[in-house]
Amino acid sequence: MPTRREILAAFLGLPAALAACNLRSASALPEGELVGASDQVGHRLRDYTLLNPPSDKWERKRVVIVGGGVAGLSAAWRLLKAGLTDFTLLELENEPGGTARSGRSQISAYPWGAHYLPVPMSGNSDLIALLDEMGILEGRAEDGSPIVAEQYLCRDPEERVFYRGRWYEGLYLRAGASGDDLAQLDRFNAEINRWVAWRDRRGRRAFSIPVAASSDDAEATALDRISMAQWMNQRGFSSPRLRWFVEYGCRDDYGLSLENTSAWAGLFYFCARLPRPGHETQPFITWPEGNGRLIAHLYNQAKAQVRTGLAVTDLVPTDSGVDVIAVAYDGSTAVGIHADQVIFAAPHFLSRFVIRPWRENPPAHVAEFHYGSWMVANLHLNERPASRGFPLAWDNVLYESPSLGYVTATHQRGPERGPTVLTYYYPLTEGDQQAARKKLLSIDRAQWADVVLSDLQRAHPEIRELTTRLDVMRWGHAMISPRPGFIHGSARRAALKSYRGIHFAHSDLSGVALFEEAFHHGLRAADEALKAVRL
């Protein structure tokens, strides 16, 4: 059994572990629990494949959607818009949403994963229509861009970074930056502006949201063949502050280091949300519960068709459609559905375990899908923590931490006093992702709580006294990893193709785990299914 110091050193580094052990013991942790996705239930899928429903437990549906994350709920939204109601959505967990799920306490609603949505650009008409339907828009600008109501835009202060005992505004650490640091930042921004202005012969941007709208020109796709670290090295970007800043972006959206992130994906993070060279990035739409607000709206539209607590164990293509077998969460009962078409909106790596013909002979492309592991914790505080320097912001990042810091769930309310909920994010960026998942699951809720509090107490020494509850979510396959060669490789192209009445939909089919990408693939797969059932 590892000691507390060994655990803290493994997750926070030895200096932080020594400091934490000297400051405070771990004897008085706040109450809380391990919540959310169960790795054990997912692993039992292989055992459930032997279960077959009796003849009286079969039904018929035009379409079955497998998975109730953003992609699955978006597919349901599209089917309903098209007038098709004869479908069902099957979700393993007891509530839908996937990594966009949220929670709620007496203090506030809070996210368990994705927590913002950049204002879409004018060309993303479907997403704009969804936001309009939700009552978030006040109209359109002359260029067609949506005008978002002020209360839904992230209010100031938006971001800050903690460094050597003090908070500073923004995420790039300007305090103490040398002339060379700032010169390299200017050169980096010039590179970003060059790519934002770049267009191929068809007028497409190099980096667009959704990814499907991006250029496939050789000059742009060549970026996917090298890592972001190699791209920076080639251009002499050696400034530690700049490299930290860029790596933070890779960890934030992909859970990867500079060395493991495709240069295409690294530049996508900085370019895709810029409308024009030299402009600010698109503003963020956010709510206390993060993207859980979007999930709630989509779920409410399709609630009558959604069935939770059911693990799909078998998809069996037949001459007349696809037979779907699902097992109750506890393995007690099995149900069967004769479907005309299936939308597989679960993570793509599961397809080899669920699609019966693929079990013994899975397509080669499935093995190319790799996923990062994350831990997310929600801390319930009876008072806002004190800050030295720049005040509490929405996004609060610790410069010398392997975590991403935390977002403040109550930020949109305004007053910076009273109880709050802080959502803390920790990506496991080890190059060996199987080892990362093992590390994620190697410690329990109490040990994770100690890691979180020990990390945050370097910025907030009083954090243990303020925290009344601390819950932990472990995501073993949290998001797709855009490693070099994946975005513009053959595996992703192959995964987009339907297979015998099964249409694939998930953000991992884009190579970047964004709401917009899951939404896009949900709509695309729904359109494919609609076309098939109406032939």
Per-residue pLDDT tens digits for 184-204? 999 999 999 999 999 999 999
Position 52 scores a pLDDT of 81
Q: Which of 347, 366, 333 is nearest to 68 (CA)?
A: 347
Tokens for 431, please give them: 């190059």
- Yes or no: say if 449 and 357 are a contact pair by the CB < 8 Å rule: no
Provide the strand spans (E) within 420-498: 420-428, 467-480
Compute CA 239 distance to the chain's CA centroid, rounded to the nearest angstrom: 29
Question: Block means of pLDDT (10 residues each) for the chain, length 535 residues?
Answer: 93 89 71 78 55 86 98 98 98 94 96 96 96 96 92 96 97 97 98 98 98 98 98 98 98 96 98 95 96 98 96 95 92 92 97 95 96 97 96 97 97 86 96 92 97 97 97 95 97 97 98 98 98 88
Sign of CA dihedral 301, 294, 256, 227: positive
- Contact, 394 vs 159, CB < 8 A? yes
Q: What is the pLDDT of residues 303-362, one digit of tens each?
A: 999 999 999 999 999 999 999 999 998 778 899 999 999 999 999 999 999 999 999 899
Residue 366, both tokens: 């499935």
Q: How far apart are CA 521 and CA 526, in angstroms?
A: 8
- pLDDT for res 38: 55
Using left for φ > 0, alpha for ψ between -120 and 50, and beta otherwise, residue 255 falls in: left
3-class DSSP assignment, residue 391: coil
- Are the CB atoms for 159 and 397 separated by under 8 Å? yes
3-state helix, strand, coil in the chain (%, to 5): 40, 25, 40
Pairing of strands 137-140, 146-148: antiparallel
Query: What is the rounded distance in angstroms from the CA atom of residue 438 to the CA atom of residue 476?
Result: 9
